[in-house]
Structure 1
Amino acid sequence: MNDYTVHIVDDEEVVRRSLAFLLTMSGFTVRVHQSATGFLAVAPRIRNGCLITDLRMPDMSGVELLRRLKSSDLRIPSIVITGHGDVPMAVEAMRAGALDFIEKPFEDHQLIEAIRRAAAELTDITGGLADVSSVQARLNELTDRERQVLSGVVEGLANKTIAYDLNISPRTVEVHRANVMTKMKAKSLPELVRMALSVKLDAY
């Protein structure tokens, strides 16, 4: 049995029940919250927990929830669930402190693996993210164009938008993006974003 609690924040009851059932059956201790406001009320009392929150909620967005937690100095490892087209918001959530984001629809194992990475943060384990010096070394191997594409990705821009901004074809952006993933040794888009944020890519 895990010694931490997974808190689910989602305004849709069917989603809360579905996620709670999946995680309970997978051996996790779960608590559900129907609103971000409700979760914030109990957050200061959470000592060993991680958070799964939807991005789009009526009372407060997932991004705003993470910003409130951060401003209150409440360190709760967080995962955001995003719908198709919400990737820019998901990237913004990572800037606000989210550890990971998962796009709908997702496989059960994707969520479970993300929770385990979040739980690893509770014991000060890096969760597989390479140290900053290693990430910086990989970043230095990128070409100028690859770095420009990476900057666009971290901003949450679509390939077509990056292509337009750089005056190249979307297909060329896809090739550069694939090369960036390979050179940075990133297994997923969230991992690539975490790497870029860890070395403050915006400074370049």
Structure 2
Amino acid sequence: MSVLPVAPDQEIFIVDDDDALRDSLVWMLESSGYKVVAFDSAEAFLHAWHEGLAGCLVLDVRMPGMSGLELFEELGRRRCTLPVIFITGHGDVPMAVAALKKGAADFIEKPFADREMLALIEHCLQQERASRDKRRQEADTARRLEHLTQREREVLDLIIAGKLNKQIADVLGISIKTVEVHRARVMEKMGAHSLAELVQHVVTVEPAASVR
């Protein structure tokens, strides 16, 4: 079996009290090139969890003590960003569907084929990478916005509002040449290579900016 390249910091976290199933999953995933960390209880995973974890979580619905659903809800309260794949028995499907409505990535019924699990995991890893990239971009944009001067921010807001340089000059009571200088500085500070890129970055971080 082969998988797509995995980001160096991504791991598959397995939480299942069934020793045989857990060991089988670990072997299958490691032999497919994934880094795997396994836990025999929800409590053990919760104790090890921290915000820096990246990858995805494969979680059994029913376990002694804290159930998979209870762990999922607690992770939600902690703003955990790991995609969660639930492992379910036939009778647990309604619970898994309910979890999907609360943000779980997917679920898979026992018994399942290795290729089905691998496909779900690869989808989740791609989703998690994209989500992290988006959060990094948003954080970078927010930092860049903080470094704009008041006048540069005023110019930016008017650019986002679709105003032309002459209109911006009229609104702010400055020359068109001065607007052009501020506009160039805004583009440079925001790391934008085009007007479309500038607008996209800003409205992603500040949706209200598009209606100012």
Counterparts of residues 165-180 of structure 1 (less than 5 Å)? none
Structure 1 ranges of 4+ moved more than 6 A: none
Cα contact 1:66–1:96 (8 A) shared by 2:
no
Cα contact 2:51–2:80 (8 A) shared by 1:
no
Shift of 1:45: 4.7
* Matched residue, 2:6: 2
The partner residue of 2:125 within 114, 119, 138 is: 119
CA–CA distance in structure 1, aligned partners of residues 52 and 14 of structure 2: 13
1:117 alignment partner AA: H
- The alignment partner of 1:58 has SS state of coil
Cα contact 1:66–1:97 (8 A) shared by 2:
no
2:116 alignment partner AA: Q
The structure with the largest alpha-carbon Rg is 2
Shift of 1:98: 1.1
* Matched residue, 2:36: 30
Counterparts of residues 38-187 of structure 1 (less than 5 Å)? 38-124=44-130
Cα RMSD of the aligned pairs, angstroms, is: 1.4
CA–CA distance in structure 2, aligned partners of residues 8 and 67 of structure 1: 17
CA–CA distance in structure 2, aligned partners of residues 21 and 108 of structure 1: 11
Shift of 1:7: 0.3
Shift of 1:41: 1.2
Cα contact 1:10–1:54 (8 A) shared by 2:
yes
Shift of 1:95: 2.4
CA–CA distance in structure 2, aligned partners of residues 59 and 96 of structure 1: 21
Cα contact 1:77–1:99 (8 A) shared by 2:
yes
- The alignment partner of 2:112 has SS state of coil
Shift of 1:46: 4.0
* Matched residue, 2:182: none
Cα contact 1:9–1:33 (8 A) shared by 2:
yes
* Matched residue, 2:141: none
Cα contact 1:62–1:93 (8 A) shared by 2:
no
Kindly, what percent of the aligned residue pairs are identical?
42
Structure 2 regions of 5+ residues with no counterpart?
Answer: 132-212
* Matched residue, 1:148: none
- The alignment partner of 1:53 has SS state of strand
Number of aligned residue pairs: 125
Q: TM-score, normalised by structure 1?
A: 0.58
Deviations along 1:108-156, whole A, 9 cap, x unmatched? 100000001110121226xxxxxxxxxxxxxxxxxxxxxxxxxxxxxxx
Deviations along 1:30-75, whole A, 9 cap, x unmatched? 0001110110111115431210010000111111111101111111
CA–CA distance in structure 1, aligned partners of residues 26 and 89 of structure 2: 19
2:12 alignment partner AA: V
CA–CA distance in structure 2, aligned partners of residues 119 and 36 of structure 1: 21
Shift of 1:6: 0.2
1:93 alignment partner AA: A
Structure 1 regions of 5+ residues with no counterpart?
Answer: 126-204
